[in-house]
Structure formats: structure tokens, C-alpha cells
């Protein structure tokens, strides 16, 4: 059975009077979900203003990155966009709220653009990557591309905080995808 390439993961928390414990990553457990990549880099970001938007980012083949994203302080809306050439779900997106409180994680494989917006001030996000940062292979798609139509959960009239680079990324129509379709269409997150 083929699973959806982007997966929402809810690690179990074991709590008592002291608080809780959770296992956020275990290679054998992730293999049962069809996630077999080897993570080699951990990233940690702090976004101070509410409605800071980072994305939509990816790295091109030979240096593509699978990502496992979680929010360890605050709340974010995390998004993955299918950019695999020939995919029946090309240009479609899925998103999920990740927060320190809910402990959810989003697995985003190679072939998907990734971005998130903070829903509170002072959000910290950590994510594992299956390859190291390679500036010669970095790419992106504009966050507000109408052809994709992401609902970022940003109130009408509010402009997100963006980097100069993210503000001028190309539109999906101007992007020639180097990512092959693997036969697994994007499915809604469960």
C-alpha cells in the first residue's frame, strides 16, 4: 500500500505529575510509516513577529532534502506543495498546525516545497533534513502564488514578515521542476 508522501505524525506523549516524555524520532518506527531517509542535519529557527512567513523552499536533486518539522515554542501553520513533474497533484498543497502544545510533526519528502507562517510571536521551529544545506541547489516558489492558492491563516489586511529573498521567488508557472513523480499522489493529511 502506498502512503501519502507528506505525512502528519503525532508522537505519543507519556505524562505524569512531572510533565511528559515523547520520542520524536525513531528510525524503526518511521520505517513502518514508509519513511526511510537518513537525517544528517538539524535546523532550529526563531521567528519573533507573529505572521512571519518562511518559504516556500526546497533543494534540487542531488542535494534534495526530506524534512521532519516540529514547533517547539508557539504555533505555526506548516505547508507542503507538490512540485513533482508529472504528478496528478502538482501545485496542490497540504498544511497543518504544529505547536509546542500538540506535538505534531510534518514529514515533507524531496519533491515538495516547504514553508510555514507563525501564528504567535516568538515561535521556535526545529527540523531534521536528509542532506546538508547546499546554496547552489536551493530554490523556491512564491508564497502567495494564486495558482497554488495557499490559505496561510493570515487575517485579511495583514502583510506577513518576509525575507527579501522570499518576497521575489518565482511563480510556479515560471518553474521547471527537476523532481520526478514517484507514483504517490499527495493526499489530505490525517
**The pairing of beta strand 112-118 with beta strand 53-59:** antiparallel
Q: Which residue has the cell 505547536?
A: 99
CB atoms within 10 A of CB 44: 9
**Percentage helix, strand, coil, to 5, in the chain?**
10, 40, 55
What's the CA gap between 156 and 53, in Å, rounded? Answer: 15
CB atoms within 10 A of CB 68: 22
137 is catalytic: no
Catalytic residue among 90, 104, 114, 127: 127
CB atoms within 10 A of CB 171: 13
57 is catalytic: yes
* Contact by Cβ (8 Å): 148, 81: yes
Catalytic residue among 57, 90, 104, 114: 57
Q: What are φ and ψ of residue 172, in 5° steps?
A: -60, -40
Catalytic residues: 57, 127
Amino acid at each position: 500500500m502506498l502512503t501519502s508522501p507528506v505525512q502528519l505524525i503525532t508522537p505519543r506523549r507519556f505524562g505524569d505529575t512531572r510533565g511528559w516524555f515523547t520520542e520524536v524520532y525513531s528510525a524503526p518506527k518511521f520505517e513502518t510509516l514508509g519513511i526511510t531517509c537518513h537525517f544528517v542535519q538539524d535546523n532550529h529557527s526563531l521567528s519573533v513577529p507573529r505572521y512571519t512567513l518562511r518559504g516556500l523552499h526546497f533543494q534540487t536533486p542531488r542535494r534534495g532534502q526530506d524534512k521532519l518539522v516540529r514547533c517547539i515554542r508557539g504555533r505555526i501553520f506548516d505547508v507542503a506543495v507538490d512540485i513533482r513533474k508529472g504528478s496528478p497533484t502538482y501545485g496542490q498543497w497540504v498544511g497543518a498546525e504544529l505547536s509546542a502544545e500538540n506535538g505534531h510533526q510534518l514529514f515533507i519528502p524531496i519533491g515538495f516545497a516547504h514553508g510555514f507562517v507563525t501564528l504567535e510571536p516568538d515561535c521556535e521551529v526545529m527540523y531534521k533534513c536528509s542532506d546538508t544545506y547546499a546554496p547552489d541547489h536551493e530554490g523556491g516558489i512564491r508564497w502567495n502564488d494564486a495558482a497554488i492558492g495557499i490559505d496561510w491563516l493570515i487575517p485579511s489586511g495583514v502583510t506577513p514578515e518576509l525575507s527579501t529573498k522570499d518576497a521575489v521567488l518565482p511563480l510556479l508557472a515560471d518553474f521547471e521542476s527537476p523532481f520526478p513523480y514517484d507514483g504517490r499522489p499527495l493526499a489530505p493529511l490525517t
